[in-house]
Chains A and B, each alone.
Chain A
Amino acid sequence: DAGITQSPRHKVTETGTPVTLRCHQTENHRYMYWYRQDPGHGLRLIHYSYGVKDTDKGEVSDGYSVSRSKTEDFLLTLESATSSQTSVYFCAISDPDRGGEKLFFGSGTQLSVL
């Protein structure tokens, strides 16, 4: 268990409302990531962070913003949710600085935008 907690696990919301997903880690890993998983697309990177207040865009960042004010927390915000953002969202962590090559994943958040 890599000590990653995603909240909420499930959320249903309406188009146009803001939504924030939280990822919390207890491993003190430097890198944190947000992916979305959709059938036929695999996992696609939304945003990632390489340190406190250091973030960068992934391949599908439009409509999403992130913040990392503490090492342990990485927030993903949908400013105005759309139906195309219905997906499963995974948080992941890694720490290549400490010899850790692989990604550890959270349990995922199922988001439905109606």
Chain B
Amino acid sequence: AQKITQTQPGMFVQEKEAVTLDCTYDTSDPSYGLFWYKQPSSGEMIFLIYQGSYDQQNATEGRYSLNFQKARKSANLVISASQLGDSAMYFCAMREGRTGNQFYFGTGTSLTVIP
């Protein structure tokens, strides 16, 4: 079974609008971390946001927020007020504590911001 599932290969959003990128995960480990990374066309991997499994509140970092629904095993990324520079690939990832600090990645969502 896939550890991380991203079901949206490509998304479009109008500039200044909000967009939600979906991510579901699969683990039986009670201790885990969830991450989102951005990969622009230049290729580097940029850390955006982190949510721990025991965190009570949803994580936020500027225009990024992580909608963490533990019972549904979902960790959707919400980008508010989209900008042209947000056009990129976005990867959801999970770290399981019991697997030797391995990180598992989804297949990514390509986001295009339309002016």
Contacts and interface: CB of A to CB of B under 8 A. Distances in A.
Interface of A: 31, 33, 35, 40-45, 48, 50, 56, 58, 88, 90, 92, 94, 96, 101-105, 107-108
The 4 closest A-B pairs by CB, nearest first: A105-B45, A43-B105, A42-B107, A42-B105
A102 B47 contact: yes
A96 B96 CA distance: 12
Interface string B60-104: 000000000000000000000000000000010101000011111
Interface of B: 4, 6, 33, 35, 37, 43-45, 47, 50, 52, 91, 93, 95, 100-108
B43 A96 contact: no
Contacts of B47: 102-104
Given A101-B33, A101-B50, A103-B93, A108 B44 contact: yes
Given A43-B91, A102-B35, A33 B103 contact: yes
Contacts of B33: 101
A40 B110 CA distance: 11
Contact of B103 (A50, A56, A103): A103
Given A101-B33, A101-B52, A50 B45 contact: no
Contact of B102 (A42, A58, A101, A105): A58
A44 B81 CA distance: 31
B52 A45 contact: no
Nearest to B47: A102
A92 B93 CA distance: 13
